[in-house]
Structure 1
Amino acid sequence: MDETDRNLISALRHDARASLSDLAAMLEVSRTTVRARIERLKQAGEIVGFTVVLRGDAARDPVRGLMMIGIEGRGTDRIIRQINGLSAVRAVHTTNGRWDLIVEIGTDTLEAFDVILGQIRKFDGIASSETSLLLNTRKSGG
């Protein structure tokens, strides 16, 4: 992947519906080049799909946050299964460093968010946690 491919992907992340002509002008290449590069990136598995974000999806979770979790012992797989069973959990990431897991949570209210935090903190094997509310998302989607 070269600089033109990276710039093309960046442009598509900003507006996946941009016309080939607009993308070509932005990248200072031909429409044929843009079309061929998109096709090649799809065939190589670099681009795996396109999606639509609806207004309802964006407004779905007015209260969002990240919960960092430290786990004692060897219960990580069990704890991940328990966390994945909660409807307010949007993603679970394993990580290195101080925290073992980072959990993305989304709810309708602060009260509901607090309930989910309480449920997770009660899981056997969770030694510590720290939670940060997400105030604003400046860029999303990779």
Structure 2
Amino acid sequence: MDELDSRLLVTMRAHPRVGLTELARLLGVARGTVQARVEKLTARGVILDFGPTVSAAGAGYPILAFVSLQIAQGRLAEAVQALRGVPQILEVHGTSGQHDLLCRVVARDTDHLQEVIAHILASPGVQRTDTTIALSTQIPYRIEPLLTQRGSPPPTT
């Protein structure tokens, strides 16, 4: 990725509904350049989608929790397959340390969260869960600082 790719991505994030012609105008480059760059970044897996970002809270799931799972030896694939069937699990990451998986989970309320956790515990291979409920979001998902500070070390405090 070069500086133009970074500027393109930051501009697309700032103006998600903008067309290629307007992107080209904002960046001061030809429309064909923008189109070629977008296609290249998409093919490389840098741009993952063009859909709207949907708020789980706005869709009726205001409770956000992070659920760490311990998985029985040799049953990871089975557990992950079972977790795919739980719509309230937004993402699952394999982790190092005390737990094997970290799940981002949403729920309608705390009673619903308890039901979701019970369902997770009933999944094959899941031995134990540890849940942390998010009370607020201090820094929402962001990528722009990485794109605008490429190659620079993090600031020191």
TM-score normalised by structure 2 residue count: 0.68
For 1:92, the equivalent position in structure 2 comes to 92
1:1-142 correspondence runs (5 A): 1-20=1-20, 23-24=23-24, 27=27, 29-32=28-31, 33-42=33-42, 44-53=44-53, 59-60=58-59, 61-123=61-123, 125-134=125-134, 135-136=136-137, 138-140=139-141
CA distance in 1, matches of 2:118, 2:39: 47
CA distance in 2, matches of 1:51, 1:77: 29
CA distance in 1, matches of 2:54, 2:83: 26
The offset of 1:25, in angstroms, is: 6.2
CA distance in 1, matches of 2:35, 2:123: 50
The offset of 1:92, in angstroms, is: 2.1
For 2:155, the equivalent position in structure 1 comes to none
For 2:148, the equivalent position in structure 1 comes to none
The offset of 1:8, in angstroms, is: 1.3
Give the partner amino acid of 2:18.
A
For 2:154, the equivalent position in structure 1 comes to none
8 Å Cα contact 1:84-1:92 kept in structure 2: no
Give the partner amino acid of 1:74.
G
CA distance in 1, matches of 2:2, 2:95: 29
Structure 1 pair 51–71 and aligned structure 2 pair: CA distance change class (3 A): same
Percent identical across equivalent pairs? 24
Structure 2: runs of 5 or more not aligned: 144-157
| Cα deviations by residue, 1:1-34 (Å, 9 ceiling, x for unpaired) | 212202211221232223556645654x324343
Structure 1: runs of 5 or more not aligned: none
CA distance in 1, matches of 2:43, 2:121: 44
| Cα deviations by residue, 1:60-106 (Å, 9 ceiling, x for unpaired) | 22112111112231111121122222232222222233321111211
| Cα deviations by residue, 1:19-60 (Å, 9 ceiling, x for unpaired) | 556645654x324343442244345554354112467x6512
RMSD: 3.0
8 Å Cα contact 1:13-1:141 kept in structure 2: no
CA distance in 1, matches of 2:67, 2:21: 43
